[in-house]
């Protein structure tokens, strides 16, 4: 399913691209990841921080393409195959 299809079924909403927001989300992900590897924190806290870092990165990729989720966080992860191009 393409980003346009996700928009048609109302899982994504179009939103003007914002480089400032993109950079902010990347910086947030970096800070959350840094905290997630602190061994003095509980495993539950570390997992939550790692999850939030991964969501910030998925959201940054989605925002780069001019979209935001309409309400469900999982859509940012679902859209990764369309927002991030990996060369294997």
pLDDT in tens, 35-67: 999 999 999 999 999 999 999 999 999 999 999
50 C-beta neighbours (distance < 10 Å), count? 15
- Answer whether 0.85 is exceeded by the pTM: yes
Q: Is residue 88 part of a domain?
A: no
Overall domain count for the chain: 1
Q: Is residue 29 one of the residues assigned to a domain?
A: yes
Query: Phi and psi for 10 in degrees, rounded to 5?
Result: 70, 20
pLDDT tier, 86 (very low <50, low <70, confident <90, very high otherwise): confident
How open is the CA angle 30-36-38, to the nearest 5 degrees? 115
**Rounded distance between C-alpha atoms, residue 87 and residue 11, angstroms:** 27
Given this model, what pLDDT does residue 88 score? Answer: 63
Closest CA to 65 of 8, 28, 21: 21
Q: Is residue 70 part of a domain?
A: yes
Q: Answer yes or no: is 34 within a domain.
A: yes
Per the domain annotation, does 59 fall within a domain? yes
Q: What residues make up the domain containing 46?
A: 3-83
Burial class (CB in 10 A: 0-12, 13-18, 19+), 37: exposed
């Amino acid at each position: 399913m393409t980003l346009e299809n996700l928009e048609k079924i109302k899982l994504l909403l179009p939103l003007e691209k914002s480089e400032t927001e993109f950079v902010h989300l990347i910086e947030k992900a970096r800070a959350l990841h840094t905290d997630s590897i602190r061994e003095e924190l509980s495993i539950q806290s570390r997992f939550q921080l790692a999850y939030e870092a991964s969501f910030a990165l998925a959201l940054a990729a989605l925002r780069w393409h001019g979209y935001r989720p309409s309400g469900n966080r999982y859509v940012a992860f679902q859209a990764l195959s369309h927002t991030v191009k990996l060369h294997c």
